[in-house]
Structure 1
Amino acid sequence: MKGKRVIAGILLAGILAVTLTGCKNTDNGKKETEKPVITLGSDNYPPYNYLNEDGVPTGIDVELATEAFKRMGYQVEVVQINWEKKKELVESGEIDCIMGCFSMEGRLDDYRWAGPYIASRQVAAVNENSDIYKLSDLEGKNLAVQSTTKPQGIFLKRTDERIPKLGNLISLGHRELIYTFLGKGYVDAVGAHEESVIQYMKDYDTSFRILEEPLMVVGIGVAFAKDDDRGICEQMNQMLEDMRQDGTSLKIIEKYLDNPEKYLEVDDLGY
């Protein structure tokens, strides 16, 4: 009888040990996955943010954000947003920040910024057989832009004397549409980030000619709500600078763009 009690005691101890071990592993698993989530809003804008063949967000900004926030102790959820409503989305708290090849120029007072972390040329592009070769040749012509982007503001405000008066400025909701309009001859030119034009030509095996003189050289940043006082923006700003200095940003950018070094020349942008 005594022997049976001993055996039962050993079995019970073994069961408890397995149970406790299982609980411990589960708790560790939770701790590893329960990092606070940062919701990053962007639109489809290759090569900065787009869905790969498996429907997973990827691109320059997705990789930079994932690494930066990981170093800060966060995990990132990238969500596709209506780009025209980005400001109200970040101000309402529906998203934590905006990161999608987002120009800081002219918007410094609208948001709290981390960056610039990339330098980008805003350019005009035309069909290869076009007789437009310089910005002044755009006088009286029709040009398409994605709505609420920097090129729209450049041509609407015309604060730079180099920017001519257009015949018509056509603002479209989606990036791909501006290139469709250009390819079909509905417009004479488009205005966009140089990287966007290059990526579109690669993706769709088509050729446009980018005018040599840029519309503007701008800094790309991460935008938080103006009243966001959590300190995340300031941490992100430092982390992106650390990544630029330690070579991480260069390794990411060179996966997507040729001559990646030029995109990291942000020190003289004046922000």
Structure 2
Amino acid sequence: MMNWKKTALAGMIAVTAAILIAGCGSQSQKQDSQKMPDKIVIGLDDNFPPMGFRDESGKLIGFDIDLANEAAKRMGVKVEFKPIDWDSKEAALKSKKVDMLWNGLTITDSRKKQIAFSKPYMKNAQILIVRADSSIQTKDDLKGKVIGTQEGSSSVDALDKDQGFKNSLQDVKLYGDFVAALMDLEVGRTDGVLVDSVVGRYYMTKKEGKFRVLAGSMGDEEFGVGMRQDDTVLVNKLNSVLKEMSADGTMKKLSEKWFKTDITIPVQ
């Protein structure tokens, strides 16, 4: 009888030890998954000037491109930029096709439920643009008119928040990017475009005299970098680097390069 008890006790000890070892292994794997990667893949809309777009030679350039390259350098990782369908950006991040969404990404409550955001680093607003020769002078003048905007953008969110205005419109056309929406406005296929201020105002500088901005905005916003919610090490490291780049004037310098003024936010 005593031998049976000893055998049972030894078996229990062995099982407990195996569970502890397995637990340690699982914890070790969890810790390994939280290490900084050697390379980060950044998902972006490559037709979103001046945040990220292609020059005449096809090279990716822009404010966020410069900022991301500098951040990657300071984090000690390689970076790859990967154009994605911006309307499916959250899915691309969750499926690990990309590690970051970095391209004028507006921080919203709905997006916070799906992804983790860095600290905000830039101001933005939603503005309405019309042709310079248009009779439209105010937002109310767009009643019964057609406007365009980018599918999957925060402009759509801003429009959804103002149901009275949205319901007053004849139609809302959704485009793959803001540039396409603004091109249709220029040729008269729409009466206005709801667009991110940074994109709309930059585009207007390239089309001098073609457009004008209606007074007021449809919401003030802040840009941040999107990451997976469980990538806490990456989130913390990026926040630290962004804070450093904000404090040493790097962000200000890049903003003045692309916007002729500093529209960045001090990263806390």
Question: What's the TM-score bracket when you normalise by the shorter of the two chains?
Answer: 0.7 to 0.9
The residue identity in structure 2 corresponding to 1:168 is D
State the 1:223 CA deviation: 0.3
Could you tell me which residue of structure 2 aligns to residue 134 of structure 1?
Answer: 138
Instruction: Give the counterpart of 1:149 among 129, 150, 153.
Output: 153
State the 1:65 CA deviation: 0.8
Question: Any unmatched runs of 5+ in structure 1?
Answer: 1-34
Instruction: Give the counterpart of 2:261 among 256, 259, 271.
Output: 259
What do you get for the CA RMSD once the two structures are aligned? 2.2
Could you tell me which residue of structure 2 aligns to residue 63 of structure 1?
Answer: 66
Instruction: Give the counterpart of 2:113 among 104, 109, 112.
Output: 109
TM-score with structure 2 setting the length: 0.79
Tell me the number of residue pairs that the alignment of Structure 1 and Structure 2 aligns.
230
User: Which shifted more, 43-52 or 129-138?
Assistant: 129-138
**DSSP-derived class of the 1:198 partner:** helix
Partner deviation per Cα, 1:79-132 (whole Å, 9 max, x = no partner): 111111211110011100101111112422221001211001210100112222
**Contact in 1 for aligned 2:118/2:224 (Cα 8 Å):** yes
**DSSP-derived class of the 1:70 partner:** helix
The residue identity in structure 2 corresponding to 1:199 is Y
In the TM superposition, 1:81-230 aligns within 5 A as: 81-106=84-109, 107-158=111-162, 165-205=168-208, 207-229=210-232
Partner deviation per Cα, 1:178-215 (whole Å, 9 max, x = no partner): 01221121111001111211222333555210112011
Give the distance between the partners of 2:266 and 2:165, measured in 1 at CA. 23
Could you tell me which residue of structure 2 aligns to residue 32 of structure 1?
Answer: none
Could you tell me which residue of structure 2 aligns to residue 9 of structure 1?
Answer: none
Question: Any unmatched runs of 5+ in structure 2?
Answer: 1-36
**Contact in 1 for aligned 2:255/2:261 (Cα 8 Å):** no
State the 1:143 CA deviation: 0.8
User: Which shifted more, 77-86 or 214-223?
Assistant: 77-86
Give the distance between the partners of 2:39 and 2:78, measured in 1 at CA. 5
Could you tell me which residue of structure 2 aligns to residue 25 of structure 1?
Answer: none
**DSSP-derived class of the 2:121 partner:** strand
Which ranges of 4 or more aligned residues in structure 1 deviate by more than 4 Å? 161-164
- Aligned residues: percent identity? 27
Give the distance between the partners of 2:175 and 2:108, measured in 1 at CA. 21
Greater fraction helix: 2
Give the distance between the partners of 2:215 and 2:260, measured in 1 at CA. 17
TM-score with structure 1 setting the length: 0.78
Instruction: Give the counterpart of 2:237 among 230, 235, 255.
Output: 235
Give the distance between the partners of 1:137 and 1:65, measured in 2 at CA. 40
The residue identity in structure 1 corresponding to 2:211 is F
**DSSP-derived class of the 2:88 partner:** helix
Partner deviation per Cα, 1:19-61 (whole Å, 9 max, x = no partner): xxxxxxxxxxxxxxxx811100101211010123333221100
Give the distance between the partners of 1:206 and 1:95, measured in 2 at CA. 39
Partner deviation per Cα, 1:133-182 (whole Å, 9 max, x = no partner): 222222332110010111112223426x7777322111111322201221
